Structure 1
Amino acid sequence: MSEMKSVRANQKIIDIRNIKNNMIFISEKTRDNMNYKK
């Protein structure tokens, strides 16, 4: 039971990390697009 809880917690941490990476990736792409349009 406790093992499942830790697995779920780890999954949440991984999800948060993935979201952060996606945000950084999107912001970098947006910045590139802005620079390209100038």
Structure 2
Amino acid sequence: PAGWDNMKKIGILHENLQSMKPDDYYRDVIAQPQTNRK
């Protein structure tokens, strides 16, 4: 996000991640939306 551009702020963000890790794959954290074609 904007404003998270220095190591101190990035460290704070990293410490507050609880449900995922920075090293997790994007597709494991963010579910792909369902595609309903009619």
Give the structure-1-normalised TM-score: 0.33
Q: Write 1 or 2 for the structure with the bigger share of helix.
A: 1
Higher relative contact order (CA 8 A, sep 6+): 2
Q: State TM-score, norm by structure 2.
A: 0.33
Larger CA Rg, structure 1 vs 2: 1
